[in-house]
């Protein structure tokens, strides 16, 4: 029975199907990422689907952006790499302008399609050290659809929803559980799993305050993926053809955990074209990490093996300590400079900086939700080509970026000397890069 319990725990802990946000961590699109993600007022292409949907309304033509991004973390504890998985995938966005009567509007969509796994869900043991913001959050599909309207020449509003899916399911086994020879088992297996749609809102507003100054504000809803899984075994224990040792035995393991947490975010930004060639963007975001809960599994076990119940000592359900994360403010700074412009061709150089304080407290107790203050410096370049013949009559943009995030070393001092993990120092870096082509039709 212990083995069955272990199997059930393993099943409930195993990756299932469904949904956090690589764009939050590494940016979306090469231009935005090169400018430190300071795009709440500065997004000028289909990446507005992520940064501020209201800016979609400023699209004068159909825009399709296709790119590829990757991030390779090297996250260390006590100087040793935990080999946290990288994130990589295709970023695609679309913005289609139109009119509804006198109203100018645009619809758009954005997708980040990871090429390792569409979405990964997992539940780690409650005390296992993990970099909470990088551990699993980038391993996710991002899918958003938006609509925007222009109100007059200066104001635009936009909003939409992003989609995810949670998982709820049961693995049921019915029949005879062989004992003492497990090969005598004769069990029917039924699996019932629902991938339930989860939606969260994205809202934005943008205002052209002055001909050279735009401001914007964006709200992205919070999100958490609930994984509800059960392992249900009912049947007789014994050998076929003989009276069962235990008739109608019952074992059920129910696990509820959460993964892929994304905090609600409110971002305000400005984009100032200080000269015809130089623009500066600044965003300040508020991220509601205080809603983050301990992601470990709440496990409940029920067991009925008749007269043998007294011989089985089930562990009491473990109580999970609160994570005690705090809300954070994230400043972002981006610069774009038109280094060369002639004959419709442009060469643009970009740079950015982000400071993201850690929402996680020093890990002094049993939990090990590791995170550090993060400094990100980014560089990028873009070219705009006026046209490439009849097939591509509109300007084509090609952008690239590279960014380095440095996790400032942080010490974690445990309160108890019998803590099995002990004190440790966390640090690391994340190198990300990407390319994006921007097509206009």
Which C-beta is closer to other proteins: that of 139 or that of 294?
A: 139
Which C-beta is closer to other proteins: that of 116 or that of 197?
A: 116
Q: Give bridge partners of residue 219 from the DSSP assignment.
A: 203, 266
Residue 254 as a binder of other proteins (CB under 8 A): the answer is no
Cα dist. 55→148, 151, 164, 217 in Å?
A: 7, 12, 24, 10
Q: Which of 84, 121, 167, 280 binds other proteins (CB under 8 A)?
A: 84
Which C-beta is closer to other proteins: that of 67 or that of 359?
A: 67
Residue 83 as a binder of other proteins (CB under 8 A): the answer is yes
Asked if residues 150 and 58 have their Cβ atoms less than 8 Å apart, the reply is yes
Q: Which of 45, 93, 135, 283 binds other proteins (CB under 8 A)?
A: 135
Measured from the CB of residue 23, what is the shortest distance to other proteins in angstroms?
16
Q: How far apart are CA 373 and CA 155, in angstroms?
A: 36
Q: Which of 209, 247, 411, 441 binds other proteins (CB under 8 A)?
A: 411
DSSP state of 343: T
Measured from the CB of residue 425, what is the shortest distance to other proteins in angstroms?
4
State the SS3 of 26-55.
HCCCHHHHHCCCCCCCCCCCCCHHHHCHHH
Phi-psi region at 152: left, alpha or beta (left = phi > 0; alpha = psi -120 to 50): left
Measured from the CB of residue 416, what is the shortest distance to other proteins in angstroms?
6
Residue 34 as a binder of other proteins (CB under 8 A): the answer is no
Handedness of CA 88, 262, 356, 125 (dihedral sign): negative
Measured from the CB of residue 225, what is the shortest distance to other proteins in angstroms?
17
Which C-beta is closer to other proteins: that of 235 or that of 395?
A: 395
- Give the residue among 404, 282, 406, 374 at the shortest CA–CA distance from 336: 282
Which C-beta is closer to other proteins: that of 235 or that of 434?
A: 434
Residue 111 as a binder of other proteins (CB under 8 A): the answer is no
Phi-psi region at 208: left, alpha or beta (left = phi > 0; alpha = psi -120 to 50): beta
Kindly state the tokens that stand for 414.
């445990």
Which C-beta is closer to other proteins: that of 158 or that of 395?
A: 395
Which C-beta is closer to other proteins: that of 207 or that of 402?
A: 402
Asked if residues 97 and 57 have their Cβ atoms less than 8 Å apart, the reply is yes
Residue 90 as a binder of other proteins (CB under 8 A): the answer is yes
Chain residues that interact with other proteins, rule: CB under 8 A: 66-68, 70, 72, 75, 77-86, 88-90, 115-116, 122, 128-131, 134-135, 385, 388-389, 391-392, 396, 398, 411-413, 416-425, 435-437
């Amino acid at each position: 029975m212990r083995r069955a319990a272990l199997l059930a725990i393993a099943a409930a802990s195993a990756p299932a199907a469904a949904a956090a946000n690589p764009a939050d961590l590494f940016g979306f699109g090469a231009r935005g990422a090169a400018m430190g993600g300071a795009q709440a007022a500065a997004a000028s292409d289909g990446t507005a689907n992520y940064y501020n949907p209201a800016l979609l309304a400023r699209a004068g033509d159909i825009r399709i952006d296709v790119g590829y991004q990757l991030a390779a973390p090297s996250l260390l504890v006590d100087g040793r790499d935990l080999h946290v998985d990288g994130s990589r995938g295709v970023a695609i966005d679309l913005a289609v302008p139109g009119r509804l009567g006198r109203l100018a509007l645009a619809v758009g969509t954005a997708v980040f399609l990871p090429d390792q796994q569409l979405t990964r869900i997992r539940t780690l043991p409650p005390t296992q050290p993990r970099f909470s913001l990088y551990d699993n959050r980038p391993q996710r599909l991002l899918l958003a659809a938006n609509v925007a309207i222009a109100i007059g020449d200066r104001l635009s509003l936009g909003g939409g929803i992003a989609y995810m899916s949670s998982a709820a399911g049961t693995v049921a086994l019915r029949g005879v559980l062989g004992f003492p020879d497990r090969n005598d088992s004769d069990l029917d297996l039924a699996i019932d799993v629902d991938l339930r749609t989860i939606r969260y809102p994205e809202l934005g507003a943008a205002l052209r305050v002055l001909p050279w100054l735009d401001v914007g504000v964006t709200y992205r809803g919070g999100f958490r993926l609930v994984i509800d899984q059960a392992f249900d075994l009912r049947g007789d224990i014994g050998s076929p053809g003989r009276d069962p040792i235990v008739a109608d035995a019952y074992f059920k393991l129910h696990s509820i955990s959460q993964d892929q947490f994304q905090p609600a975010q409110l971002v305000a930004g400005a984009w100032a074209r200080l000269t015809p060639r130089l623009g500066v963007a600044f965003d300040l975001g508020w991220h509601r990490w205080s809603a983050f809960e301990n992601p470990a599994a709440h496990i409940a076990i029920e067991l009925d093996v008749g007269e043998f119940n007294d011989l089985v000592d089930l562990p009491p359900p473990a109580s999970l300590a609160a994570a005690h994360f705090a809300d954070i403010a994230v400043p972002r700074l981006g610069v774009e400079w038109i280094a060369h412009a002639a004959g419709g061709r442009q060469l643009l150089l970009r740079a950015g900086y982000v400071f993201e304080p850690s929402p996680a407290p020093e890990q002094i107790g049993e939990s090990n939700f590791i995170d550090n203050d993060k400094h990100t410096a980014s560089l990028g370049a873009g070219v705009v080509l006026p046209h490439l013949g009849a097939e591509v009559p509109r300007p084509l943009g090609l952008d690239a970026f590279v960014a380095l995030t440095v996790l400032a070393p942080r010490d974690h001092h445990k309160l108890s000397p019998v803590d099995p993990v002990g004190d440790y120092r966390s640090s690391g870096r994340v190198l990300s890069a990407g390319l994006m082509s921007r097509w206009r039709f």
